[in-house]
Amino acid sequence: GAVVSQHPSRVICKSGTSVKIECRSLDFQATTMFWYRQFPKKSLMLMATSNEGSKATYEQGVEKDKFLINHASLTLSTLTVTSAHPEDSSFYICSARDVRGKRGYTFGSGTRLTVV
């Protein structure tokens, strides 16, 4: 079935550094991938929609210069948290939709980011 691989699963970084999170569709092509953030005991919040070969579409209130998204191929999207601060600590998760549309949305396993 459709599989999305997200890496790393956990990362701890120092304030001021940048962290890159990768989201790969392993057995299907995804022209569109989605990046979500989840706060403790809260629902998933859409941050941005990543489109292959074009600029990402960011949701209101999400800083595009802080959360850089690159979708350079049909199977890879990356989210870079730049100049990370402790308030960026969260659970980030990606999803992708199989272009064939049959399997709905497939989610990555998520990345737990802790900024110290």
Partner 1 sequence: KNEVEQSPQNLTAQEGEFITINCSYSVGISALHWLQQHPGGGIVSLFMLSSGKKKHGRLIATINIQEKHSSLHITASHPRDSAVYICAVSGTGNQFYFGTGTSLTVIP
Q: Does 23 bind partner 1 (CB under 8 A)?
A: no
Q: Does 32 bind partner 1 (CB under 8 A)?
A: yes
Residues 88-107 that bind partner 1 (CB under 8 A): 91, 93, 95, 97, 103-107
Determine if residue 101 is left, alpha or beta; phi over 0 gives left, psi from -120 to 50 gives alpha, anything else beta: left
Determine if residue 80 is left, alpha or beta; phi over 0 gives left, psi from -120 to 50 gives alpha, anything else beta: beta
- Residue 2 or 68: the one with the smaller Cβ distance to partner 1 is 2
By CB under 8 A, name the one of 29, 73, 83, 109 that touches partner 1: 109
By CB under 8 A, name the one of 44, 62, 68, 99 that touches partner 1: 44
Tell me how far, at minimum, the Cβ of 64 lies from partner 1, in Å: 17
SS3 88: helix
Q: Tokens representing 115?
A: 């900024």
SS3 110: coil
Do β-strands 10-13 and 111-115 pair in parallel, antiparallel, or remain unpaired? parallel
Given the rule CB under 8 A, which residues bind partner 1? 9, 32, 34, 38, 42-44, 46, 49, 91, 93, 95, 97, 103-110, 112
